[in-house]
């Protein structure tokens, strides 16, 4: 299990210019090195790498093949193609002769699409002015124009009363109704004044195009044109598909090869070079250094030298958690990415967050519902189109689909814990269903008037808070030690002692032994409190130390919200059930309907709260009360140079060895 990000090393590489292209290809395919700008000392010895005419050609051909690939429909999964040099890629690109025809077909298709949209808009307008009985020719001349408008009766009346003088506006009214359609005819010179007056009244005017025939005649003509456009675009698609069957594999392979060369060209700006040698520097995971060295040496026949780059820079962060734990990286990244030199809190988060979520939910009915919703989200939201529009919009405003799926994966273990705890507490949507079915009664009744069992839960929550605060201070002390800050170690260790002193004080208060005396708990309490107070003040200073003392107490007590949110959910469910039960016992039809509505709406609302409250508060308890003891965040992600290949052959074989390319 990883408690820290992957350790990074910054290395430099010095090689011959003849091996530069091959070296960058290997680095791209390995995808384990984040290339950095060359350090000033090395750059002063070599000078910056300069571009060449070949790079300009690569850029031009990249744009060309990006357009070709976007225009051609993909055809199957072609076998990857191998290119052994940039010259071979450019030669293959030059041999592709389909630019002219594909470009002409694309331009024609775009023009037809625009025309088709215009035809559809005109047909819609003709449908709206179907009340005009004469030829459309009469609605236009060089001296006047015609607009279509829609307005409610009041807005229409205001428009007629406020028309500017001199426009000679005339109205042709459609059939009466709650929304009145009308044709507004006015002088061409006054068209802007008409549009301004309509806009001031909240009425949108649409210009009626110049057409000659009647509405049925023009409708038939436009529908025929729409059919012709659709037929021609279908022919264009068929022709592009035929071209793709012959050329798409080559286009896809050349496009990918050019994209790789283009990315390599971007990296060149970070390199240094002379006439005979080049140099680069990169962050590399320490675990991959040996592999990088062996593969680069194999690719260049040993004509390369590696050297360590001394630096005080903060390395980029690469987290390395197991697959199950990795799903909780979503929460940590949402808060802030850890720095490479500090603790990765994902493992602890993956253990603690589900426990907190399940504890605060504490109902096996709600747990089952949220579990099923989570599975639905993980499967890709099947049938989401049938949801009300408000529901779809509300979900999208919260988080994107991928983020929702990550959240769903994280909620699964929490739902399982909620179901288990709910069975133990005999809580099913706030109703003791197991007592009715099998006669089971929970030893802890959350709604008991005595509250003694609730006091036990509060004590458990306090111990959880003590454990989390202690663990946070422990990680903080270790971090301070690794960064060679002894006063920080003293302060964090003092926080642990003070936290336990507060706990012993609480136990002493429960046992009525808070006075000074020989009671062992009192002795330990004073020892821990005194030592912790002294260490906090000595390590942090008077002001920060006093703030730290208050923070320790408040953070431990903050964990009692675990019980508070659990009780709030249980009591709300009890209120909903009690009100609905009272209406059902009335026996009237209205009461039964009202009870069903209250149950449905109330329990749905409680389910929503059951996701948000435990989720937000559970994460907050970790982010604030736990992270604050050791976590800095603001790390920069590790972004290695390179991407996976699909249509071209990698320079790295399946066994991890270099694929030897023939030398010039």
Report the C-alpha gap between 19 and 319 in whole angstroms. 32
Nearest C-alpha neighbor of 211 from the set 115, 298, 271, 140? 140
Strand partners for 48: 272
Q: How many CA atoms lie within 13 A of 662 on its CB side?
A: 4
486-510 and 452-482 helices, crossing angle to 10° = 170
Decide if 557 contacts 459 (C-beta within 8 A): no
Rounded (10°) CA dihedral 17, 21, 24, 29: -150
Contact between residue 112 and residue 233 where contact means Cβ atoms under 8 Å apart: yes
Contact between residue 581 and residue 595 where contact means Cβ atoms under 8 Å apart? yes
pLDDT at 249: 92
Q: Which helix H or strand E contains 446, and what residues bound it?
A: none
CA distance 353 to 615: 8
**Stretch (H or E) spanning 163:** none
3-state secondary structure of 396: helix
Report the C-alpha gap between 584 and 341 in whole angstroms. Answer: 62
What CATH code would you report for 1-39+269-318? 3.30.70.240
CA–CA separation, 379 and 519 (whole Å):
59
Q: Which helix (H) or strand (E) holds 148?
A: strand 144-151
CA distances from 126 to 120, 132, 148, 207, 221 (A): 10, 9, 10, 12, 12
Q: What is the mean pLDDT of each run of 10 residues along the chain (664 residues)?
A: 86 91 90 91 78 81 92 83 88 93 94 94 90 85 84 84 76 84 83 81 85 90 94 95 93 93 88 90 94 90 90 92 89 91 92 94 93 89 69 61 84 94 90 85 70 75 91 90 87 86 73 56 73 81 77 88 90 89 80 88 90 91 90 92 89 64 44
The answer to whether residues 6 and 319 touch, using CB atoms and an 8 Å cutoff, is yes
Q: Which residues contact 404 (CB under 8 A, 6 or more apart)?
A: 377, 381, 395, 398
C-alpha span between 513 and 504 (Å, rounded): 10
- Contact between 169 and 185 (Cβ < 8 Å): yes
Could you say which architecture CATH assigns to the domain 117-226?
A: 2-Layer Sandwich (3.30)
Q: Does residue 77 sit in helix, strand or coil?
A: coil
Looking at residue 224, its pLDDT comes to 95
- Where b means 16+ CB within 10 Å and e means fewer, 254-270 reads bbbbbbbbbebbebbeb
Q: Whose CA is closest to 292, among 544, 661, 558, 656?
A: 656
Question: In a 3-state reduction of DSSP, which class is residue 70?
Answer: helix
Helix 215-268, helix 86-94: angle, nearest 10: 160
Report yes or no: 421 and 359 within 8 Å, Cβ to Cβ: yes
User: 226 Cβ partners below 8 Å, 6+ apart?
Assistant: 116, 119, 120, 123
Nearest to 73 by CA among 234, 229, 226: 234
Query: What is d(CA 388, CA 373) in angstroms, rounded to the nearest whole number?
Result: 16
Q: pLDDT value at position 241?
A: 93
pLDDT attached to residue 664: 38
- State the Cα–Cα distance between residues 170 and 131, nearest whole angstrom: 16
| CA distances from residue 316 to 16, 348, 349 in whole angstroms, order as listed | 28, 22, 22
384: alpha, beta or left, given left = phi > 0 and alpha = psi -120 to 50?
alpha
662: which 2 tokens? 């023939």
Task: Compute and round to an integer the Cα radius of gyration of the chain.
Answer: 36
Domain ranges of the chain: 1-39+269-318, 117-226
CA angle at 601 for the pair 599 and 602, rounded to the nearest 5°: 65
Of the chain, the end-to-end C-alpha distance in Å amounts to 48
- pLDDT of 405 reads 86
Q: Residue 454 is encoded by which pair of tokens?
A: 């609730």
Inter-CA distances, 612 with 349, 360, 362, 389, 608, Å: 17, 11, 14, 21, 6
Contact between 33 and 258 under an 8 Å Cβ cutoff? The reply is no
- Looking at residue 621, the DSSP 8-state letter turns out to be I
DSSP-derived secondary structure letter, 302: T
CA distance 363 to 613: 14
DSSP designation for 8: E
Question: Cβ of 141: how many Cβ atoms within 10 Å?
Answer: 11
Q: What is the torsional sign of CA 464, 468, 473, 478?
A: positive
**Same topology for domains 1-39+269-318 and 117-226, yes or no?**
yes
pTM value surpassing 0.85: no
Q: 61-65: long-range contacts at Cβ-Cβ below 8 A with a sequence spacing of 24 or more?
A: 61/90, 61/93, 61/254, 61/258, 62/255, 62/258, 62/259, 62/261, 62/262, 64/93, 64/99, 65/93, 65/96, 65/251, 65/254, 65/255, 65/258
Q: Kindly state the DSSP code that residue 341 receives in the 8-state scheme.
A: T
**Which tokens is 210 given?**
């110049």
């Amino acid at each position: 299990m990883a408690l820290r990000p992957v350790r990074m090393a910054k290395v430099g590489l010095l090689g011959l210019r003849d091996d530069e292209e091959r070296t960058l290809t290997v680095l791209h395919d390995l995808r384990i090195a984040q290339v950095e700008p060359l350090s000033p000392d090395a750059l002063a010895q070599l000078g910056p790498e300069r571009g060449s005419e070949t790079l300009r050609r690569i850029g031009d051909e990249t744009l060309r093949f990006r357009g070709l690939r976007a225009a051609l429909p993909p055809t199957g999964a072609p076998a990857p193609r191998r290119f052994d040099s940039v010259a071979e890629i450019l030669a293959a690109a030059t041999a592709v002769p389909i630019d002219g025809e594909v470009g002409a077909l694309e331009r024609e298709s775009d023009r037809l699409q625009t025309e088709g949209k215009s035809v559809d808009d005109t047909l819609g307008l003709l449908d709206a002015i179907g009340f005009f009985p004469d030829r459309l020719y009469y609605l236009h001349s060089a001296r006047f124009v015609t607009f279509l408008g829609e307005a409610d009766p009041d807005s229409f009346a205001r428009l007629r009363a406020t028309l500017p003088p001199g426009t000679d506006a005339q109205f042709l009214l459609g059939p009466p109704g709650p929304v009145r359609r009308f044709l507004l005819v006015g002088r061409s010179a006054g068209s802007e004044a008409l549009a301004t007056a309509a806009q001031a009244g909240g009425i949108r005017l649409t210009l009626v195009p110049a057409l000659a025939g009647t509405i049925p005649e023009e409708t038939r003509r436009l529908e025929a044109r729409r059919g012709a456009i659709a037929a021609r675009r279908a022919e264009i698609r068929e022709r592009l598909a035929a071209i793709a069957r012959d050329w798409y594999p080559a286009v896809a392979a050349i496009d990918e090869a050019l994209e790789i060369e283009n990315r390599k060209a971007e990296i060149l700006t970070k390199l240094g070079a002379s006439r005979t040698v080049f140099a680069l520097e990169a962050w590399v995971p320490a675990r991959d250094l040996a592999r990088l060295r062996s593969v680069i040496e194999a690719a260049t026949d040993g004509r390369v030298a590696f050297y360590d780059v001394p630096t005080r820079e903060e390395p980029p962060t690469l987290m390395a958690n197991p697959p199950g734990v990795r799903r909780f990286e979503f929460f940590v990244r949402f808060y802030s990415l850890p720095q490479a030199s500090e603790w990765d809190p994902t493992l602890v988060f993956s253990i603690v967050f589900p426990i907190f979520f399940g504890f605060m939910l504490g109902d096996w009915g709600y747990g089952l519902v949220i579990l099923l919703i989570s599975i639905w989200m993980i499967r890709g939201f099947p049938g989401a189109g049938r949801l009300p529009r408000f529901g779809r919009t509300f979900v999208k405003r919260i988080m994107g689909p991928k983020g929702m799926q990550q959240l769903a994966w994280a909620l699964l273990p929490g739902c399982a814990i909620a179901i288990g705890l709910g069975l133990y507490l005999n809580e099913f949507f706030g109703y003791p269903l197991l007592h009715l079915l099998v006669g089971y009664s929970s030893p802890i009744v959350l709604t008991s008037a005595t509250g003694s069992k609730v006091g036990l839960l509060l004590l458990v929550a306090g111990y959880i808070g003590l454990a989390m605060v202690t663990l946070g201070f422990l990680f903080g002390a270790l971090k301070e030690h690794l960064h060679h800050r002894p006063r920080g170690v003293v302060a964090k260790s003092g926080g642990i002692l003070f936290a336990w002193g507060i706990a012993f004080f609480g136990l002493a208060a429960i046992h009525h032994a808070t006075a000074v005396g020989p009671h062992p708990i009192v002795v330990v309490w004073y020892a821990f409190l005194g030592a912790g107070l002294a260490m906090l003040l000595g390590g942090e200073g008077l002001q920060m130390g006093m703030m730290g003392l208050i923070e320790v107490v408040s953070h431990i007590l903050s964990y009692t919200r675990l019980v508070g949110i659990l009780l709030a959910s249980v009591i709300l469910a009890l209120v909903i059930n009690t009100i609905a039960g009272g209406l059902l016992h009335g026996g009237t039809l209205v009461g039964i309907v009202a009870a069903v509505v209250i149950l449905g709406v109330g329990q749905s609302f409680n389910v929503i709260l059951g996701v948000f409250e435990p989720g937000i508060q559970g994460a907050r308890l970790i982010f604030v009360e736990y992270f604050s003891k050791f976590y800095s965040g603001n790390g920069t992600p590790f972004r290695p140079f390179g991407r996976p290949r699909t249509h071209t052959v990698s320079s790295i074989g399946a066994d991890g060895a270099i694929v030897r390319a023939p030398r010039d």
